[in-house]
């Protein structure tokens, strides 16, 4: 049964926060889910710029149930979190916040649903195992992608970046996950033996040097970007006849786990009639997805 009084009142307000946020698809996904569940909950998109999260959090009342976070807030929220799940703790990235009243005080519990979303989206695309993975980029989503590689059984991860020092924390994260991480810039041929390539780069990025043709022909590319589409990297893959998956699947599945958190307070607890909920969310996303769409990258933080 859904607990409608997490905060001692009818807590039914939710929102996705970030900047830019105007074209976010999260409201479409979440509203479809709550309609399917028969819940009269609101879910909005709220512009919150970097440095403004503390002010927003101080302004909300007990009618608020939870928050989805996108760029640039996934790190900024960390000082305000009372507790977080293992994935958020390891990646240092929170994209979901559950608001509750505990012992007379408000508490914020943080979750990272990006890893589960990415794992599920890859499985839908036929990728359930990978021994050697290449990551493109070193933003916050790269940490989630690295943890995804570990979930798929990867033993070795090549990370290609422009700024090598920025990517150094991924080496430490790899050690904690039992994965060997190698850093290199885009000028070399790193990752040529990979089974899977995950791009966390902005959709309009053009690589300074095309990745090896053999890699593009053989390895599946999962691009967390979905707008503009195809991305620069996806175009390179398609020109080589390779397999490409875009980020809409990740957006869909990470949102489903968020709905679990907001409804059941447990990311591992299936929703009532969950297959129908997922179908309703997928339908809403499909109706909204148009060629050349310029919607925001809800699942991605740069």
Active-site residues: which are they?
Answer: 74
Q: DSSP letters along the chain, please?
A: ---S-TTSS---EEEEEESS-TT-SHHHHHHHHHHHHT---EEEEEE--TT-HHHHHHH--TTEEEEEE-TT-TTTTGGG-SEE-HHHHHHT---EEEEEEETTEEEEEEE--HHHHHHHHHHHTT----SEEEEE--SHHHHHHHHHHHHTT-SEEEEE-S-TGGGHHHHHHHHHHT-EEEEE-TTS-TTTT-SEEEE-S-TT---SSPPPHHHHHHSEEEES--SSSS-HHHHHHHHTT--EE-THHHHHHHHHHHHHHHHHS-TTSPPTTHHHHHHHHHHHHHHH--TT-----TT---
């Amino acid at each position: 049964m859904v607990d409608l009084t997490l905060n001692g009142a009818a807590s039914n307000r939710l929102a996705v926060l970030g900047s830019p946020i105007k074209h976010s698809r999260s409201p479409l996904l979440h509203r479809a889910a709550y309609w399917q569940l028969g819940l009269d909950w609101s879910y909005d998109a709220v512009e919150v710029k970097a440095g403004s999260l503390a002010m927003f959090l101080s302004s909300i009342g007990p009618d608020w149930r939870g928050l989805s976070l996108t760029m640039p807030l996934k790190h900024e929220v960390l000082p305000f979190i009372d507790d977080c799940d293992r994935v958020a703790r390891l990646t240092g990235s929170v994209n979901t916040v559950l608001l509750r009243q505990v012992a007379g005080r408000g508490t914020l519990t943080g979750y990272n649903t990006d890893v589960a979303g990415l794992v599920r989206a890859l499985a839908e695309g036929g990728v359930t195992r990978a021994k050697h993975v290449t990551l493109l980029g070193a933003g916050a989503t790269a940490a989630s992608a690295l943890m995804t590689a570990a979930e798929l059984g990867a033993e070795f991860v090549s990370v290609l970046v422009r700024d090598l020092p920025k990517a150094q924390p991924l080496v430490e994260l790899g050690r904690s996950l039992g994965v060997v991480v190698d850093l290199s810039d885009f000028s070399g041929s790193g990752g040529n033996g990979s089974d899977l390539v995950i791009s966390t780069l902005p959709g309009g990025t053009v690589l300074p040097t095309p990745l090896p043709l053999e890699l593009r022909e053989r390895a599946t590319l999962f691009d967390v970007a979905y707008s503009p589409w195809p991305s620069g990297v996806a175009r390179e893959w398609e020109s080589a006849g390779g397999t490409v998956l875009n980020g809409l699947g990740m957006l869909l599945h990470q949102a489903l786990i968020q709905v679990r958190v907001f409804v059941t307070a447990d990311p591992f607890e299936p929703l009532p009639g969950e297959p129908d909920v997922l179908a309703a969310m997928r339908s809403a996303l499909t109706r909204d997805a148009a060629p050349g769409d310029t919607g925001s990258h809800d699942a991605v933080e740069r």
